[in-house]
Structure 1
């Protein structure tokens, strides 16, 4: 993302009377595939700038030094925002770098070869950056500690929940039949990659199926991912159903109809699927890790239950409690006292109200403030 702030040189044709702190935004992608549909994906008022170059060649160049500055690819900018870990060399622009998580440091056994390169690329970008953005305060604190940064350089800009999630409705029988979904199901949404910890979730289900009847199937929604094949040995036929990629509308429907969203990740930078599930009125069983705890804390015990990501037995207990008791099964021994309100409050609405606090408008406002500070620094 390239930003031209009002206190810098205005773009050609800009109105001289524009507000002093207005932003002129343009976006680019440093891959051929990313550029293909970029213009159509941008919101009104955001243009696109593009100069095609092989992404692998660019990264190799940026690993080796300060050749090929970003301005050669995007033209003049006051601020260049690298939204995905890699900030290119810069001539005169101020750099803003988004670091989504530190999985390449915290869980290196779960990242791809491409992500492992961030161990080299991120420190280079941090040396160039005037400001750093993270999706959560938990990750901000990790980045500050790992790279010994001035806390004033790092800003958490929490992600937002699309408003359409709040209108999501459970699927009708014909929808289930057309997509091969069971009538009652647990749901996982995401890539099937090692960091998502599906092995622990399957182990918990394996124990339940060996003891209890009528455990709902687990539906996996998302692209294939990578890593070792999932071990479904010991699970009955039909206990795990791969639904593959769903459209956004179908995904909202699938989440709204689930007994619970299961989010057992070993490590995350934020926790958007749990928030989207709350918006859709669906209970959440998630890993008790810093970023997820941060975004769900006010509704833990009411609309969310957190369990240690490596504790198979506690995860199995949580699944069984919610399968049997719905929202009542989320209390985790709290004696029916919900942390976010009265015992007789509707937990579904409490969860939705919490999710409404996460808006993309707030994300944009916080990000724009970072651009302005960077441009003026």
Structure 2
């Protein structure tokens, strides 16, 4: 049993602001790891834990042992900096989603990547300035963690803190274990008897979607579609992909059950990112026996290992050749699937939760 309760029953609070936001990779990390902690703690240990949320957020979040409580009357960043600070002052605060009250004296903050510093063009000026400043303040006021060794080195560089002081608490994909695939999505999208490549993500600049669309268009194949799952692509209005290729299908946001079915039937997941803090979709695809075509960038090499076929994300010809190798049988898909299943099994929320508990206990011990 992990030591989930630090010495002397110090209260442990969790910044639950994420529970009132739409589900993205950051929120998925927070939910996955907290539910794993809920499973790991015994009843006595769980008494020390409380998830604090702003008003209006449901208290029924599926936790069996950890309490969820409303704190304060404010919302947004003001809630975090004022109400959350006041409610958690007597204990340790765990912040799983990039931000935290800067005046808290004993806390762990998970900053998932250095994207706001490395790709500032993907954010509004106000968001960029706020989160760049917040990150620098938290680097001085909080114990930091992140989701990959790549991100640890990146954050160490941009925030000017020793790399060894930043913990690595990985993402995982076993949140899909209890999801049942919704096969009706194949009929609704006209994909039941059609081959397709799959993209899961947003149209943010770091996702490099415009080049992936160009690479698909260069195939000029009428027998294959490119399915884009997520927010509507903006590539066509940016001058990067001025011609919309045929057989491109934008689905908008889909449920996990629908995405699970798309993974199971896709020719391959195409993950063309220029920059990531981790990259959850490739591991999800691997778990569902879907081959992965990924950008040859350090973080994806770290996450995917030898279980993906890599391409140059700046070269649309390289992407096209990777897709064509799948369609024409040149790629060893059986080997990719087998390696993918083994690779995805290495990541679990239980392991990540155990590491977070270890870090929290270290904070508690050092603050006595």
Shorter-chain TM band: 0.7 to 0.9
How far apart, CA to CA, are the structure 1 residues paired with 2:124 and 2:5?
34
Q: TM-score, normalised by structure 2?
A: 0.80
Moved over 6 A (4+): 18-23, 166-169, 225-228
The match for 1:45 among 55, 61, 65 is 65
Identify the residue that residue 267 of structure 1 maps to in structure 2: 275
How far apart, CA to CA, are the structure 2 residues paired with 1:114 and 1:201?
29
The match for 1:352 among 337, 341, 346 is 341
Identify the residue that residue 104 of structure 1 maps to in structure 2: 116
Task: Return closer, same or farther for 1:180/1:254 CA change in 2, 3 Å cut-off.
Answer: same
8 Å contact 2:200–2:228 — kept in the other structure? Answer: yes
Identify the residue that residue 22 of structure 2 maps to in structure 1: none
Matches within 5 A, 1:78-97: 78-91=91-104, 93-97=105-109
8 Å contact 1:8–1:375 — kept in the other structure? Answer: no
Identify the residue that residue 139 of structure 2 maps to in structure 1: 126
How far apart, CA to CA, are the structure 1 residues paired with 2:174 and 2:109?
24
**How many Å apart are 1:193 and its aligned residue?**
2.0
How far apart, CA to CA, are the structure 1 residues paired with 2:62 and 2:163?
31
The match for 1:176 among 162, 186, 194 is 186
The match for 1:194 among 186, 205, 223 is 205
**How many Å apart are 1:148 and its aligned residue?**
2.5
Q: Deviations over 1:120-176 (max 9, x none)?
A: 1111111111x211010100111122223233321111111126459877x75x542
Q: Deviations over 1:22-77 (max 9, x none)?
A: 772222345x5xx523x222422121232231315457xx5xxxxx37431x3454
Task: Return closer, same or farther for 1:358/1:240 CA change in 2, 3 Å cut-off.
Answer: same
Gaps in structure 1 of 5+ consecutive residues: 12-17, 63-67, 330-344
Identify the residue that residue 256 of structure 1 maps to in structure 2: 264
Q: TM-score, normalised by structure 1?
A: 0.78
Q: Is residue 85 of structure 2 the alignment partner of residue 71 of structure 1?
A: yes
The match for 1:289 among 265, 278, 297 is 297
Identify the residue that residue 249 of structure 2 maps to in structure 1: 241
How far apart, CA to CA, are the structure 1 residues paired with 2:177 and 2:200?
15
8 Å contact 2:196–2:266 — kept in the other structure? Answer: yes
Q: Deviations over 1:169-194 (max 9, x none)?
A: 7x75x542224436211111112222
Task: Return closer, same or farther for 1:263/1:325 CA change in 2, 3 Å cut-off.
Answer: same
Q: Deviations over 1:238-286 (max 9, x none)?
A: x211111111111111111111101111111001100000000011111
How far apart, CA to CA, are the structure 2 residues paired with 1:323 and 1:111?
36
How far apart, CA to CA, are the structure 2 residues paired with 1:9 and 1:163?
29
The match for 1:219 among 219, 227, 244 is 227
How far apart, CA to CA, are the structure 2 residues paired with 1:321 and 1:166?
33
State the SS of the aligned residue for 1:160: coil
Larger helix proportion, structure 1 or 2?
A: 2
Task: Return closer, same or farther for 1:274/1:77 CA change in 2, 3 Å cut-off.
Answer: farther
How far apart, CA to CA, are the structure 1 residues paired with 2:47 and 2:309?
41
Identify the residue that residue 30 of structure 2 maps to in structure 1: none
**How many Å apart are 1:118 and its aligned residue?**
1.1
Q: Is residue 308 of structure 2 the alignment partner of residue 307 of structure 1?
A: no
State the SS of the aligned residue for 1:243: strand
How far apart, CA to CA, are the structure 2 residues paired with 1:165 and 1:308?
32
8 Å contact 1:82–1:98 — kept in the other structure? Answer: yes
Task: Return closer, same or farther for 1:165/1:275 CA change in 2, 3 Å cut-off.
Answer: farther
Give the number of the structure with larger relative contact order, counting CA–CA contacts within 8 Å between residues 6 or more apart: 2
